[in-house]
Amino acid sequence: MRSTPFTFDISLPGGVPTVYDGTDVLIRIVRPLSAMRGQYADQEAYEALLAQGDTILYEVYEMRRPQVADEYIEIADGYIEIADEYIEVADAHVGLGELLHGTSIVHPGKVGDEYFMTKGHFHSVLDTAEVYYVLQGRGMMVMETPEEEWAVKELRPGRVLYVPPRWAHRSVNTGQGDLVFLFVYPAHAGHDYGTIETRGFRKLVVARDGQPHIVDNPRWCAQE
Ligand code: F6R
Ligand code: ZN
C-alpha cells in the first residue's frame, strides 16, 4: 500500500472524482430504486415509479485504500459485538487510522411527495463520526441516535456537516439538480443498514407547496 502523499481531483459540476494519481482504487456503488423497497412512506407511488423503470437514485464513488478497507470490513463484521477483541485485532492492523472518503451524487426526484434519498445507516462501530462537505445542490441530512434524539440539517454548497459518533445519517436531495458532497470517515466504521431498513428514520423530508418540510414518519418503530 502507498505510504506517500497522493492526490485526486473532483470535477464540478458533476462530482465524479479522478483516481488517485492514476492509481486504481476508486469504487463506484450505484443504488437504484429497487434497492429502496420499503423505505418510502408512499408504497403505491414507489411501485408505480418502479413499474416505469429501475431509475438510479444515487451513486457513490469511494477511495477504498484496498488492502485496508477490505480487511477492515471483515474485521468489523467479525468483531464488532466484542469490543475488546475488536480493538485488539484493529490495533494489530497496519491500516489503523486510515480514512475512507469519496463523493456521493444523489439525483433529483421524488417518490410521491418524498424526495430521492440515500438508504441511510448507522456505522457498525457506533462510536465513529463522519464529515461531509457539500459541493453542489441542495438537500437535508436526516440524523438520529439509538437514544431517539433526532436532527435535520440543511445541505448547501460550501457547507460542512459533522456527524458525531452514534448518529445514523441519510442525505435527501431537495433540489432540482444533483446533490453532490464529499465524505470522510474512519476506515473501520462499517455500515449497519439493517437497523434503518427495519425501523426507518424518525423524520421524513417531503415536498409541500414545492418546499421541503420535515414531518414525522408514520411507520417509524422505536427501538426495542
Ligand atoms: C459513508 C457514508 C456515505 C454514504 C453514501 C451513501 O459512511 O455515510 O458515503 O455511504 O452517501 O449512503 P448509504 O451508504 O446510506 O447508501
Ligand atoms: Zn456514514
- pLDDT digit string (tens) for the chain, length 224 residues: 556 788 889 999 999 988 777 666 677 888 999 999 999 999 999 999 999 999 999 998 888 654 444 444 444 444 333 344 444 554 445 456 788 899 999 999 999 999 999 999 999 889 999 999 999 999 999 999 999 899 999 999 999 999 999 999 999 999 999 999 999 998 888 889 999 999 999 999 999 999 999 999 998 887 66
Three-state DSSP state, 107:
coil
* Amino acid at site 190: G
- State pTM to two decimals: 0.88
Ligand 1 centre to CA of 183 (Å) is: 8
Per the rule left: phi > 0, alpha: psi between -120 and 50, beta: everything else, 97 is left
What is the number of helices (H) and of strands (E) in the chain?
4, 13
**What's the CA-to-centroid distance between 1 and ligand 2, angstroms?**
24
In the reported structure, the alpha carbon of residue 31 is separated from the centroid of ligand 2 by a whole-number distance in angstroms of 15
Among the atoms of ligand 1, which is closest to the Cα of residue 106?
Answer: 11
200 in contact with ligand 1, CB cutoff 6 A:
no
Residue 26 bridge partners (DSSP): 63
Which residue puts its alpha carbon closest to atom 14 of ligand 1?
A: 120
The arrangement of strands across the sheet holding 26-32 comes to: 26-32, 56-63, 99-106, 179-186, 130-136, 160-163
Instruction: Identify which ligand lies nearest to the alpha carbon of 196.
Output: 1
Centre of ligand 1 to C-alpha 120, Å, is 7
- Return the pLDDT at 65: 57
Q: Which residues contact 210 (CB under 8 A, 6 or more apart)?
A: none
What pLDDT, on a 0 to 100 scale, did the predictor assign at position 81? 34
**Cis peptide preceding 218, ω within 30 of 0:** no
pLDDT at residue 46, as a whole number? 98
